[in-house]
Amino acid sequence: MPTTAPVHGDVADGFGPVADVFRDNFATRGEIGAGLVVYVDGRPVVDLYGGIADPATGRPWTRDTPAVVFSCTKGILAVCAYLLVQADELDLAAPVTRYWPEFGANGKADIPLRLLFTHQAGLPALDRDLSREQVIAWDPVIAAIEEQRPLWEPGTAYTYHALTYGWLVGEVIRRVAGVPAGEYFRRTLADPLGLRTWIGLPERERDTVAWTLAPPDAPTTYPDLVVERSLTMGGAFDFPADAAGLVSFNDPAIQAAGIPGAGGVSSAEGLARLYAACVSPVAGAPLLSTASIDDAVVVRSQGQQRYGGPDAGQRWGTGFLLRSPRVRPMLSDRSFGHDGAGGHLAFADDRHRVGFGYVVNQMGVAEDDRANRLTAALRSCLD
């Protein structure tokens, strides 16, 4: 593939249109630094990177550059959970209290585990105010969840659990696996697959992470108080950025803490290889069974949220964002994964045997279409 600065990498025959769009994102969509990797049938067919990882120093984006991928972390947790389901260690129909007895206080005793993954548990925001230090410490958030009363009758409505998802699902994984969710992911998936992906960044990797830039049209108000407390963890974080334009998740302490709903750090290769391994032979048999994928791609939540703005068109499965034609078309109704604030996208598709990972450092504008343009180009190459 002929390269044109600032884009580098390799593309297999037949996938040139994806490279064209990746390059054009720099020319016409304000891309600063980015990586894109696509696997098909267990092998990489697109491996592209370019631009600047840190505008303050001019450090270039390399093939191995990781970035904070925000809610792509939720999909990683969902993969971990399905592995525990396959091992008969989790039952999505069981009450959460089977694994986390203290969760059942204040009207939560009968909430089935699946509702934690589908944004239907009624716990998108907490009443207790928490400092950033308390949020990083983990246990204060768990205590606040245990004392929280659901904001609606669980299972009757949904609102995206922007940050609480990570503690809800992460604590169940911790109780079952005996180690924090980030450590379980590292032992079970990241190390065996050789992924540059972490939920809890090691100090040795701190200087390799891309610097996240705030979106040029960052909102100054939220649709309602619940959404504001959900996105900021009750004010512990600034989202998407503070008044000076600093994105909270650039803080090394937050990256190291392993905030499991939004604090994952990954290269494009790490995300693509993880999702490829779910549906194709990357390092042995596919990680997820057909039964697991069949369950994962069932739409569980969609339409107007209980709190928030107008319906944007997202369709949610069990822990995954599914093909959502209006906002995230992906490849087919067998696509499952997650996007991340700012423009990241990672997913698998067992119909096309694809693993896709795209990470950026310039958070996108409200109508950001960078990832969707890339998936449209990929779809044209696969058809």
CATH number at residue 236: 3.40.710.10
- pLDDT for 365 beyond 90: no
d(CA 173, CA 135): 18
Q: CA-CA-CA-CA torsion for 217, 375, 262, 126, nearest 10 degrees?
A: 70
- pLDDT for 325 beyond 60: yes
> 10 Å Cβ neighbour count for 153?
10
- In a domain, residue 218? The reply is yes
- pLDDT for 2 beyond 80: no
pLDDT in tens, 177-211: 999 999 999 999 999 999 999 999 999 999 999 99
Residue type, 80: C
Distance of CA 46 to the CA centre of its chain: 21
Q: Which domain holds residue 84?
A: 7-382
- pLDDT for 233 beyond 70: yes
> Quick check: bond before 240 cis, omega within 30?
yes
Q: Provide the pLDDT for residue 220.
A: 75
- pLDDT for 376 beyond 80: yes
Q: What is the mean pLDDT of the chain?
A: 96
Q: Please compute Rg for the chain using Cα positions.
A: 19
Q: Provide the pLDDT for residue 138.
A: 97
3-state secondary structure at position 354? strand
- In a domain, residue 234? The reply is yes
Residue pair 265/67 in contact (Cβ under 8 Å)? The answer is yes
DSSP state of 54: E
Q: Residue 321 pairs with which residues in a beta bridge?
A: 316, 337
- In a domain, residue 50? The reply is yes
Q: Residue 345 pairs with which residues in a beta bridge?
A: 339, 358
- In a domain, residue 1? The reply is no
pLDDT category, 68, cuts 50, 70, 90? very high
pLDDT in tens, 161-173: 999 999 999 999 9
Residue with tokens 């299972």: 155
The tokens of 208 are what? 């390799």
Mean pLDDT calculated for residue range 315-336: 98
- In a domain, residue 325? The reply is yes
pLDDT category, 243, cuts 50, 70, 90? confident
All residues at 6 or more sequence positions from 106 whose CB lies less than 8 Å from its CB, including other chains: 147, 148, 149
Q: What does each C-alpha distance from 260 to 74, 107, 184 come to in angstroms? A: 7, 25, 12
pLDDT in tens, 345-364: 999 999 999 999 999 999 99
Closest C-alpha to 286, from 295, 296, 275, 297: 275
DSSP state of 40: E
Q: What does each C-alpha distance from 40 to 201, 285, 328, 354 come to in angstroms? A: 28, 15, 20, 5
The least confident of 240-244, 326-330, 377-381 is 240-244
User: Which burial class, exposed, middle or buried, applies to 250 when counting CB atoms under 10 A from its CB (0-12, 13-18, 19+)?
Assistant: middle
- In a domain, residue 159? The reply is yes
Residue pair 217/112 in contact (Cβ under 8 Å)? The answer is no
Beta strands in the chain (DSSP E): 7-11, 33-40, 43-54, 59-60, 67-68, 197-198, 265-266, 301-302, 315-316, 321-322, 335-340, 344-349, 354-360
Q: CA-CA-CA-CA torsion for 68, 69, 74, 77, nearest 10 degrees?
A: -60
The total domain count for the chain is 1
Q: Provide the pLDDT for residue 219.
A: 75
- In a domain, residue 2? The reply is no
- pLDDT for 4 beyond 50: no
pLDDT in tens, 10-43: 999 999 999 999 999 999 999 999 999 999 999 9
- In a domain, residue 272? The reply is yes
d(CA 301, CA 311): 12
What's the predicted TM-score (pTM) here? 0.97
